[in-house]
Amino acid sequence: MKKNWPILVVDDEEVMCESMAAWLREDGYRVDTAPNGQKAVELAKSSDYAICFVDLKMPGGMDGIETMMEIRRVRPEASVIIITAYATVDTAIQAMKEGAQEYIVKPCNPQEISMLVSRILKLKKLQSENAILRKKLTRQYRHHDIITKNPRMEEILALTQEIASLRSTVLIRGESGTGKELVARAVHFSGNRAEKPFIVVSCAALTETLLESELFGYEKGAFTGAAGQAKGKFELADGGTIFLDEIGDISPKLQADLLRVLQERRFYRVGGNQEVEVDVRVIAATNKNLAEEVQQGRFREDLYYRLNVIEIKLPPLRERREDIPLLAEHFVQRISSELGREISGITAAALKLLIAYDWPGNVRELENVIERAIVTCHNGMLDEQDFCWLQKKDSTAQSWDVPDVPLGELERRAIVAALERKHGNVKEASAALGIDRSTLYDKLKRYEISHRN
Amino acid sequence: MKALYLVAIGNVPEQVMDWIESTAAEWFPVPIRRLSPREIPERAYDANRKQYQSVEVMKLLAQIVPPDSCRLLGVTDVDLAIPMLSFLFGQAQVDGPVALVSLCRLRQEFYGLPADESALRSRLTKEVLHELGHTFGLVHCNNAKCAMSLATHIQRVDEKDERYCEQCGTQLVQRFSSLEAEVI
């Protein structure tokens, strides 16, 4: 993946710049040239160069050392190699002191340069793999790890920054695979609790009793098999954040227990009689419409309001299609590196196909699709053929599971959904439903739906 | 149909040009033609290094590309270099119209050994394939046996086979057929 490691050559002599660039291009690198320090820094701002060859002596303006310092200020990761025609110990020492990776005297043997470049890039590749693996291991994603240029997502990211250091409870809504946990982590790791634990509990995965002891811990002898005291997730998250995923699935008893913790920040371990006090920020997530669950009597209204202090609603991927190319390129780079496959990118035709697909499984599905394509790809570039099975999957008509409810209820749900999608805009919602505005107003009144909500 | 042109820059034995012509004809399915020899530009000579600046020779080649040429390969017997590197076996524009090879460091005499015609011919074949490969978009290959692998000293040239590896060969054929309508 040499094209992923661009190189910059900086020299006031055009012959030197162009001949060196031509030689490196024969090796498959993308090479830019700059005739002076100012131009070099300008280029470094827009391109993430892996290596910069900088001539020490450049008449007028910035010299090689100044250029190197400026480039390193803009791109701390860039390796700078200082080139000089006259070697002196003093300049070599100064260059190395200021952060030059290497100091070479021209002309030098082609083997020397070739080995130097491959040694630096080998190190960079390892560093990049290490960063990816470390991030994966600690999963300490910050807001800049969420890749987007979608205005709604950008608003959400700005909001995560604003609320990061508050203790207010956050409710994140969104379909499966839209990145609810990633946003919760961004909130936690951007705020003043970042150094404290971030504990994840998947509420749907456990039965009521298991979830209770999982959340609140238990005392010795609380139940058969409770051989000793155990801390629950709330205690483990003390000082930090607890992320309650799929909160819409918890039982009425646990809803009551949770409400007490949210109100008082205190609870009893299972089988215990001593109160435990904790300082925990709660972030909950659900793919259900909790307001509707409240209306149906399946979710406590008081708990809903306790949780819904700050609401974040994540758009599905099909409503942020402009992010698909960005996300796809990101996954190609990350997954090919993890799997040790040399995949340089995705063809324009394949991207078109990905953009057109509806992504019911959202970003998670896109990630899995890219991984599958990388595993089966044989020519170093993902093309339409690598995603042909996706088209087939898409073309098989998706069956619509109509729930067993009265027709009126279906209509009510369709109206609520349309209003949600259009952010309460009645004109747009009525157009989406194929009815006129006055008809929609009649129906809103009939079903007692407030479009302002 | 556009042709692949050869041109001698300075004194190059006719026999060497014949070798190159037969190598080119074996690998590239286009007519092979020769331009009349050209003098090496005086400004190319670097008296301090006692070598010739390859960039100046490449500039000359770029000026004399015939209109019916798909690629132009210059051949010279002088020692080539660029400001950054102490020597070059040859140079090419990746995906561009011109390339250059030098016989100087391919000769056994350069290393103080007796002349060896078969070694020279073998090395020249590899370098011609290498530089012309660049002009058709190939970059250096990791397979040390492939003509497209990077040779930074003469032993590395000797380790190569007088051919492209399977992968580079396939890429070259694909590249050639996609360029066919455009350049030939």
The pTM assigned to this predicted structure is 0.57
Task: Categorize the per-residue pLDDT at A9 as very low, low, confident or very high, splitting at 50, 70 and 90.
Answer: very high
**Residue A405: predicted pLDDT:** 75
**Residue A392: predicted pLDDT:** 57
Smallest CA–CA distance, residue A48 to chain B, in Å, is 22
Q: Hey, is the C-beta of B154 within 8 angstroms of any chain A C-beta?
A: no
Determine whether the interchain pair A107/B83 forms a contact, defined as Cβ–Cβ distance below 8 Å.
yes
Q: Is the ipTM reported for this complex over the cut 0.95?
A: no
Per-residue pLDDT at A137 exceeds 80: no
Backbone angles phi, psi at A342, to 5 degrees: -90, 85
Determine whether the interchain pair A15/B81 forms a contact, defined as Cβ–Cβ distance below 8 Å.
no
- For the segment A205-221, the average pLDDT, to the nearest whole number, is 84
Collect all residues of chain B within an 8 Å Cβ-Cβ radius of residue A107.
49, 81-86
Residue of A19, A25, A51, A379 to mutate, interface with B, max B Cβ within 10 Å: A19
Place of tokens 């479009």: A451
CA distances from A301 to A252, A294, A298, A304, A312 (A): 11, 6, 9, 5, 18
Per-residue pLDDT at A142 exceeds 60: no
Contacts of A346 (CB under 8 A, 6+ apart): A325, A328, A329, A332, A354, A381, A382, A383
Task: Return the active site residues of B.
Answer: 131
**Residue A401: predicted pLDDT:** 60
pLDDT in tens, B101-153: 999 999 999 999 999 999 999 999 999 999 999 999 999 998 999 999 999 99
CB nearest A26 (choices: B54, B86, B92)? B92
Collect all residues of chain B within an 8 Å Cβ-Cβ radius of residue A13.
83
Tokens standing for residue A105: 């005297």
CA distances from A206 to A93, A300, A400 (A): 63, 20, 29
Which of A189, A88, A202, A92 shows the shortest CA–CA distance to A143?
A189
Per-residue pLDDT at B35 exceeds 90: yes
**Residue B184: predicted pLDDT:** 41
- In chain A, the domains with their CATH numbers are 2-135 (3.40.50.2300), 143-313 (3.40.50.300), 321-395 (1.10.8.60), 407-446 (1.10.10.60)
CB nearest B152 (choices: A20, A25, A110)? A110
- In chain B, the domains with their CATH numbers are 3-183 (3.40.390.10)
Per-residue pLDDT at A148 exceeds 80: yes
